[in-house]
């Protein structure tokens, strides 16, 4: 239904779920999340193929034939698998899902993520020419110091909120099979929320003058990312600031990498919420 | 009375693409918005051509930014087919996106065909719907809630997004007039019942209306102003052959619905085969029972509806079984320009009271906390 209503390419990032409180509220055992994720994806693909289908899985059984009446525009639907480590990159490659990454990990880890995804995809004969999006925060100003002040102020609110959200689960992850690494990650959220300790994370975002940010974009392109999801709408950031950051990215950074962002069109396109660029 | 528009989004044959059906529904809603209709309702059904919308809340979200004042309603959310936490959050999201214009219809479902494929037992549907109503009320009115019901168990949980409409959005319930405890609760809480005579005479709604009136009086509410929705198929024409054709279009929909109700359905692909129903009225009676005829006939019929069951809302269904789009839009325009003003003039002469405002006052069930 969404693919029919949107009349545009539909981009859907999917993941197994990381918040324990959400899984608990749904009554889902997190140790089953990976298997459930894979089965859901199989069902979705069967359905989008357009023919009546049945499914017999460990977690989901559809023993009655299910016809699809909406004839979804499968050619316009793009799924991405959310990836946080080289290990999960291989899992998503096995599922034939392009990677969707958040710029929270050091560049050498991001590099290993892309390498792992490419290697596994190549081995199984999959397509490498896929969109590979990464979500990055953008804080652009006339001077580096000004941009640093912006990110430290607004990102602090964001991470404090995240730390509160995940604090409920911080200790619980250690004993959940398949989620052991999340204990460390969520523990780090509290540390990153301190502006004094935010530096390594800031280095991974688009922060600085337009010239600096253009170089940062190039670094991610070098790793293998080719679609950027610009994140400015985080907790507490006023609308005017969000719009200003998007506008600056669209006018001062993006035109170097994409014809979609030619000067003069940029503001209009920003208003149409075009966030991605494809070099 | 208030006037609503109902979108079943039925796909009669391959001459209609899914996109065409959805665009047509959106066109009707845009025009109804301009004409001052109160609510645009969207049905929910699955896995057949009977109705193409699997998620009426998604339809409401789609229409929210391209409409101005019309309320947007789900008629109805088939409650047992949802995870309660997802449903609660999507209700709040759509009410926020529409700036408080959501009307939430709830129903227990009636199609084994759908329930079987969702892995839910139809016989549990009513109990599940009542529990779902418990959860909606608690989740949207409390800072934190838990639920321990027969069908749903939820640990202590917080819902971050609440509705614009406080304490709850406008809530309607379809059918279930035989469920005593639910009916009393609806009266106490200000939830609105909705009924449809479909291809039968309007008189079939008299009985649930009478039962509702008794409850209203016991609760100290005025039956003459309490909200009560009645769905009507309407087609305006002066041409007899066209009128018969319109009745056949509407009958097609009822035949499909009955075959799904009675589990006698047969499929060609995802199309349900149209087959005669044992107890269907003759087409001539259908023509009388639906609101089909001239604009003056429509005025007379809707006034008679008011005299018979005093609906607060006429839920106008204009598109069933592939009525040509231009005919639907013509009827809609005539409703706005001539029929509704004509009905209102007649009702004013009869001293009809205006329906009460939308006010919900949830009476939280004591159990399952």
pLDDT at residue A150, as a whole number: 95
Chain center to CA of B94: 17
The last residue of a domain, from among A79, A100, A121: A79
Residue A104 covered by a domain:
no
Q: Is the pLDDT reported for residue A269 higher than 60?
A: no
Q: Are B79 and B93 in contact (CB under 8 A)?
A: no
pLDDT at residue A23, as a whole number: 87
Query: Cβ contact (<8 Å) for B47 and A69?
Result: yes
Mean pLDDT of B241-254: 98
Q: Are residues A275 and A139 in the same domain?
A: yes
Provide residues of A within 8 Å CB-CB of chain B.
Answer: 1-2, 4-5, 21, 24-27, 52, 61-62, 64, 66-71
Structural domain containing residue A21 = 1-79
Can you tell me the distance from the alpha carbon of A38 to that of A20, in angstroms, rounded to the nearest whole number? 19
Q: Are A182 and A81 in contact (CB under 8 A)?
A: no
| Number of inter-chain CB pairs under 8 A, A vs B | 51
* pLDDT tens string A16-72: 887 788 888 888 898 999 999 999 999 999 988 888 889 999 999 988 888 777 656
Distances in Å between the Cα of B267 and the Cα atoms of A52, B257, B258 are: 12, 13, 14
* Closest chain A CA to residue B87: A26
Q: Does B116 touch chain A (CB under 8 A)?
A: yes
In chain A, the percentage of residues whose pLDDT exceeds 90 is: 57
Residue A207 covered by a domain:
yes
Handedness of CA B48, B54, B56, B58 (dihedral sign): negative
pLDDT at residue A213, as a whole number: 98
Residues 310-329 of B with CB under 8 A from A: none
Nearest by CB to B270, from A25, A61, A67: name it.
Answer: A67
Q: Are A87 and A20 in contact (CB under 8 A)?
A: no
Judged on CB neighbours under 10 Å (0-12, 13-18, 19+), B34 is middle
Which residues lie closer than 8 Å to A77 by C-beta, 6 or more apart?
A3, A9, A10, A12, A48
Question: Between B340-349 and B295-309, two packed helices, what is the crossing angle to 10 degrees?
Answer: 40
* pLDDT tens string B19-68: 999 999 999 999 999 999 999 999 999 999 999 999 999 999 999 999 99
pLDDT at residue A48, as a whole number: 87
pLDDT band at A170 (very low <50, low <70, confident <90, very high): low
Query: Cβ contact (<8 Å) for B52 and A61?
Result: no
Q: Which of A69, A71, A164, A168 to mutate to test the interface with B (most CBs of B within 10 A)?
A: A69
Strands A133-140, B291-293: parallel, antiparallel or unpaired by DSSP? unpaired
Query: Cβ contact (<8 Å) for B49 and A69?
Result: yes
pLDDT at residue A271, as a whole number: 47
pLDDT at residue A63, as a whole number: 87
Can you tell me the distance from the alpha carbon of B250 to that of B318, in angstroms, rounded to the nearest whole number? 9
pLDDT at residue A44, as a whole number: 92
Separation in Å, CA of B208 to nearest CA in chain A: 35
- In the block, residue with structure tokens 């096995």: A94
Separation in Å, CA of A87 to nearest CA in chain B: 30
pLDDT at residue B106, as a whole number: 97
Mean pLDDT of B286-304: 98
Token pair for B206:
């008299």
ipTM of the complex: 0.80
Query: Cβ contact (<8 Å) for A67 and B267?
Result: yes
Residue A222 covered by a domain:
yes
Can you tell me the distance from the alpha carbon of B65 to that of B60, in angstroms, rounded to the nearest whole number? 9
Query: Cβ contact (<8 Å) for B154 and A25?
Result: yes
Beta bridge partners of A139: A207
* pLDDT tens string B220-230: 999 999 999 99
The last residue of a domain, from among A12, A44, A79: A79
Query: Cβ contact (<8 Å) for B53 and A4?
Result: no
Token pair for B201:
């005479």
Residue B349: CB atoms within 10 A of its CB come to 9
Query: Cβ contact (<8 Å) for B85 and A4?
Result: no
* Average model confidence (pLDDT) across chain A: 87
Q: Are residues A61 and A168 in the same domain?
A: no
For B288-325, give the secondary structure using H, E and C: HHCEEECHHHHHHHHHHHHHHHCCCEEEEECCCCCCCH
Closest CA to A117 of A142, A104, A135, A134: A134
Q: Where are the alpha helices (DSSP H) in chain B?
A: 18-35, 56-63, 84-97, 112-118, 125-141, 180-189, 206-218, 240-261, 283-289, 295-309, 325-334, 340-349
Q: Are B147 and B368 in contact (CB under 8 A)?
A: yes
Give the CA count within 13 Å in the CB-facing half-sphere of A253.
31
Closest CA to A139 of A199, A192, A208: A208
SS percent in chain B: helix, strand, coil, step 5: 45, 15, 35
* Terminal alpha carbon distance of chain B: 39
Q: Are residues A61 and A143 in the same domain?
A: no
Q: Are B336 and B33 in contact (CB under 8 A)?
A: no
* pLDDT tens string A190-207: 778 788 889 999 999 999
Q: Are residues A141 and A276 in the same domain?
A: yes
Can you tell me the distance from the alpha carbon of B278 to that of B276, in angstroms, rounded to the nearest whole number? 6
pLDDT band at A167 (very low <50, low <70, confident <90, very high): low
User: What value, to the nearest 5°, has the Cα angle with vertex A255 and ends A250 and A259?
Assistant: 115
Residue A276 covered by a domain:
yes
pLDDT at residue A50, as a whole number: 81
pLDDT at residue A168, as a whole number: 58
Mean pLDDT of A162-186: 70
Q: Are residues A248 and A185 in the same domain?
A: yes
Q: Does B118 touch chain A (CB under 8 A)?
A: no
pLDDT at residue A278, as a whole number: 37
Residue A30 covered by a domain:
yes
* pLDDT tens string B89-109: 999 999 999 999 999 999 999
Nearest by CB to A25, from B22, B62, B155: name it.
Answer: B155
Strands A99-102, A133-140: parallel, antiparallel or unpaired by DSSP? parallel
* Secondary structure of residue B126 in the 3-state scheme: helix
Give the CA count within 13 Å in the CB-facing half-sphere of B362.
21
- In the block, residue with structure tokens 């809603």: B29
Domain count, chain A: 2
Query: Cβ contact (<8 Å) for B47 and A67?
Result: yes
Q: Are residues A63 and A149 in the same domain?
A: no
Residue A150: CB atoms within 10 A of its CB come to 18
Handedness of CA B276, B74, B158, B141 (dihedral sign): negative
Q: Does B55 touch chain A (CB under 8 A)?
A: yes
Separation in Å, CA of A170 to nearest CA in chain B: 18
Torsion of CA B125, B127, B129, B133, to 10 degrees: -170
pLDDT at residue A8, as a whole number: 86
* pLDDT tens string B262-281: 999 999 989 999 999 999 99
pLDDT band at A279 (very low <50, low <70, confident <90, very high): very low
* Secondary structure of residue A116 in the 3-state scheme: helix
Mean pLDDT of B239-267: 97
* Secondary structure of residue A69 in the 3-state scheme: coil
Q: Are residues A161 and A45 in the same domain?
A: no
Beta bridge partners of B316: B5, B232
Closest CA to B113 of B263, B13, B306: B263
Handedness of CA A209, A140, A81, A64 (dihedral sign): negative
Torsion of CA B242, B246, B247, B248, to 10 degrees: 100
Can you tell me the distance from the alpha carbon of B232 to that of B201, in angstroms, rounded to the nearest whole number? 11
Token pair for B93:
């999201």
Can you tell me the distance from the alpha carbon of B130 to that of B107, in angstroms, rounded to the nearest whole number? 10
Separation in Å, CA of A89 to nearest CA in chain B: 28
Higher pLDDT pick, A105 / B232 = B232
Q: Are residues A246 and A149 in the same domain?
A: yes
Beta bridge partners of B107: B78
Mean pLDDT of B3-16: 96
Separation in Å, CA of B350 to nearest CA in chain A: 44
Q: Does B58 touch chain A (CB under 8 A)?
A: yes
Torsion of CA A263, A265, A271, A276, to 10 degrees: -70
Mean pLDDT of A167-196: 72
Q: Is the pLDDT reported for residue A275 higher than 60?
A: no
Q: pTM (2 decimals)? A: 0.89
Closest CA to B208 of B238, B236, B186, B190: B186
The last residue of a domain, from among A79, A112, A139: A79
Q: Is the pLDDT reported for residue A264 higher than 90?
A: no
* pLDDT tens string B320-355: 999 999 999 999 999 999 999 999 999 999 999 999
* Secondary structure of residue A235 in the 3-state scheme: coil
Mean pLDDT of A221-243: 95
* Average model confidence (pLDDT) across chain B: 95
Query: Cβ contact (<8 Å) for A66 and B47?
Result: yes
Strands B102-107, B192-195: parallel, antiparallel or unpaired by DSSP? unpaired
Beta bridge partners of B332: none
Q: Are residues A193 and A275 in the same domain?
A: yes
* Closest chain B CA to residue A71: B18
pLDDT band at A266 (very low <50, low <70, confident <90, very high): very low
Torsion of CA B305, B307, B310, B312, to 10 degrees: 70
Nearest by CB to B19, from A4, A62, A67: name it.
Answer: A4
pLDDT at residue A143, as a whole number: 97
User: What value, to the nearest 5°, has the Cα angle with vertex B186 and ends B184 and B190?
Assistant: 125
Residue A106 covered by a domain:
no
Q: Are residues A148 and A37 in the same domain?
A: no
Q: Are residues A61 and A142 in the same domain?
A: no
Residue A267 covered by a domain:
yes
* Closest chain B CA to residue A64: B117
Q: Are A217 and A228 in contact (CB under 8 A)?
A: yes
Q: Are residues A145 and A45 in the same domain?
A: no
pLDDT band at A127 (very low <50, low <70, confident <90, very high): very high
Nearest by CB to B62, from A5, A25, A61: name it.
Answer: A5
Can you tell me the distance from the alpha carbon of A249 to that of A216, in angstroms, rounded to the nearest whole number? 12
Residue A220 covered by a domain:
yes
pLDDT at residue A195, as a whole number: 82
Q: Are B311 and B292 in contact (CB under 8 A)?
A: no
* pLDDT tens string B162-202: 999 999 999 999 988 888 889 999 999 999 999 999 999 99
């Amino acid at each position: 239904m969404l693919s029919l209503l949107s009349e545009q390419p539909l981009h859907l990032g999917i993941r197994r779920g990381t918040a324990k409180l959400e899984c608990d509220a749904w009554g889902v055992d997190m140790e089953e999340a990976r298997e459930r994720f894979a089965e859901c994806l199989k069902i979705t693909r069967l359905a989008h193929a357009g023919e009546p289908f049945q499914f017999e899985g460990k977690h989901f059984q559809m023993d009655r034939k299910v016809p699809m009446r909406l004839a979804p525009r499968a050619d316009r639907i793009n799924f991405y698998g959310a990836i946080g480590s080289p290990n999960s990159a291989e899992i998503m490659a096995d599922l034939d899902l392009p990677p969707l990454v958040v710029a929270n990990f050091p560049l050498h880890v991001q590099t290993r993520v892309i390498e792992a995804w490419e290697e596994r995809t190549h081995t199984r004969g999959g397509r490498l020419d896929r969109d590979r999006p990464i979500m990055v925060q953008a804080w652009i100003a006339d001077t580096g110091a000004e941009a640093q002040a912006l990110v430290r102020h607004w990102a602090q609110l964001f991470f404090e909120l995240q730390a509160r959200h995940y604090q409920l689960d911080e200790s619980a992850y250690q004993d959940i099979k398949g989620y052991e690494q999340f204990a460390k990650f969520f523990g780090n959220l509290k540390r990153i929320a301190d502006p004094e300790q935010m530096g390594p994370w800031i280095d991974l975002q688009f922060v600085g003058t337009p010239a600096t940010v253009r170089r940062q974009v190039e670094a991610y392109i070098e790793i293998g990312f080719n679609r950027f999801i610009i994140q400015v709408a985080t907790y507490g950031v006023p609308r005017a600031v969000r719009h200003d950051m998007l506008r600056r990215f669209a006018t001062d950074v993006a035109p170097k990498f994409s014809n979609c962002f030619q000067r003069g069109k940029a503001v209009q396109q920003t208003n149409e919420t075009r966030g991605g660029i494809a070099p | 009375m208030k006037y609503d528009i109902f979108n079943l989004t039925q796909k009669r044959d391959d001459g209609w693409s899914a996109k065409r059906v959805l665009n047509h529904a959106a066109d009707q809603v845009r025009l109804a918005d301009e004409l001052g209709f109160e609510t645009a309702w969207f049905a929910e059904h699955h896995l057949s051509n009977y109705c193409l919308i699997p998620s009426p809340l998604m339809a409401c979200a789609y229409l929210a930014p391209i409409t101005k004042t019309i309320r947007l309603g789900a008629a109805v959310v088939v409650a047992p087919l949802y995870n309660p936490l997802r449903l609660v959050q999507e209700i709040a999201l759509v009410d926020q996106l529409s700036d408080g214009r959501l009307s939430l219809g709830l129903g227990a479902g009636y199609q084994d065909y759908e329930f079987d494929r969702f892995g839910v037992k139809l016989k549990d549907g009513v109990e599940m719907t009542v529990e779902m109503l418990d959860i909606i009320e608690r989740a949207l009115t409390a800072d934190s809630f838990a639920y321990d019901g027969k069908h749903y168990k939820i640990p202590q949980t917080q819902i971050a997004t609440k509705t614009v409409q406080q304490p709850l959005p406008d809530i309607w319930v379809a059918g279930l007039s035989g469920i005593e405890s639910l009916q009393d609760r609806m009266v106490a809480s200000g939830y609105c019942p909705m009924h449809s005579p479909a291809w039968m005479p309007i008189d079939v709604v008299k009985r649930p209306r009478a039962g509702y009136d008794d409850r209203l009086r016991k609760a100290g509410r005025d039956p003459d102003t309490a909200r009560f929705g009645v769905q009507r198929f309407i087609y305006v024409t002066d041409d007899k052959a066209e009128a018969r054709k319109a009745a056949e279009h509407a009958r097609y929909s009822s035949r499909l619905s009955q075959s799904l109700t009675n589990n006698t359905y047969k499929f060609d692909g995802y199309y349900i085969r149209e087959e005669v129903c044992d107890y269907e009225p003759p087409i001539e009676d259908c023509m009388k029972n639906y609101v089909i005829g001239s604009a003056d006939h429509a005025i007379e019929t809707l006034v008679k509806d008011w005299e018979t069951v005093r609906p607060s809302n006429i839920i106008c269904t204009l598109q069933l079984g592939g009525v040509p789009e231009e005919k639907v839009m013509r009827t809609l325009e005539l409703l706005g320009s001539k029929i509704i003003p004509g009905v209102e003039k007649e009702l004013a002469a009869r001293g009809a009271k205006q329906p009460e405002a939308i006010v919900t006052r949830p009476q939280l069930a004591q159990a399952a906390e």
